[in-house]
Structure 1
Amino acid sequence: MSEERVTYAELNLPNSRKQKGKRRRGNKKRGFPCHIVVLSLGVMCVILLLAITGIRSIYKDSDSFQGKWHCCGKSCYYFSKEEKTWEESKKSCEDLSSSLIKIDNKAEQNFIQSKISYNYWTGLHKIGANHPWKWLDGTPLSQMVNFQQSLRDAKCGHLKPSTLSTIDCQKPFHYICEKMFTGPCY
Structure 2
Amino acid sequence: MPAPREKTCLHNSNCGFSKLLFVSLLILLQLLAVSFLIGIIIFFKKSQCLEEKETTRDLIHTKLECMEKKLTKEDTPPDRVWSCCPKNWKSFGSNCYFVSTESKSWGESEKNCSGMGAHLLGINSKAEQEFIIKILNPDFSYYVGLSDPEGQRHWQWVDQTPYNSSISFWHPNEPNNPDEQCVTVNFRSADQQWGWNDVHCDHPERSVCKMMEIYL
Q: Identify the TM-score tier after normalising by the shorter chain.
A: 0.5 to 0.7
Alpha-carbon displacement from aligned partner over 1:86-139 (angstroms, at most 9, x marks no partner): 011000001111010000011111110122122001100112122510101233
TM-superposed CA distance for 1:182, in Å, is 6.2
Q: Contact conserved, 1:83 with 1:173, CA < 8 A, in 2?
A: yes
Query: Pairwise mapping of residues 29-178 of structure 1 onto structure 2 (< 5 A)?
Result: 68-116=88-136, 117=138, 118-142=140-164, 143-147=166-170, 148-161=174-187, 162-178=194-210
TM-superposed CA distance for 1:81, in Å, is 1.6
Q: Which runs of 5+ in 1 are unaligned?
A: 1-66
**Structure 2 CA distance for partners of 1:158 and 1:97, relative to 1, 3 Å:** same
Q: Contact conserved, 2:153 with 2:178, CA < 8 A, in 1?
A: no
Q: Contact conserved, 1:129 with 1:153, CA < 8 A, in 2?
A: yes
Give the whole-Å Cα distance in 1 for the aligned partners of 2:121 and 2:91. 13
Q: Tell me the number of residue pairs that the alignment of Structure 1 and Structure 2 aligns.
A: 117
**Partner amino acid for 2:176?**
S
The alignment-based identity, stated in percent, is 29
Alpha-carbon displacement from aligned partner over 1:123-164 (angstroms, at most 9, x marks no partner): 001121225101012333221221231322111111113101
**Structure 2 CA distance for partners of 1:150 and 1:110, relative to 1, 3 Å:** farther
Structure with the greater alpha carbon radius of gyration: 1
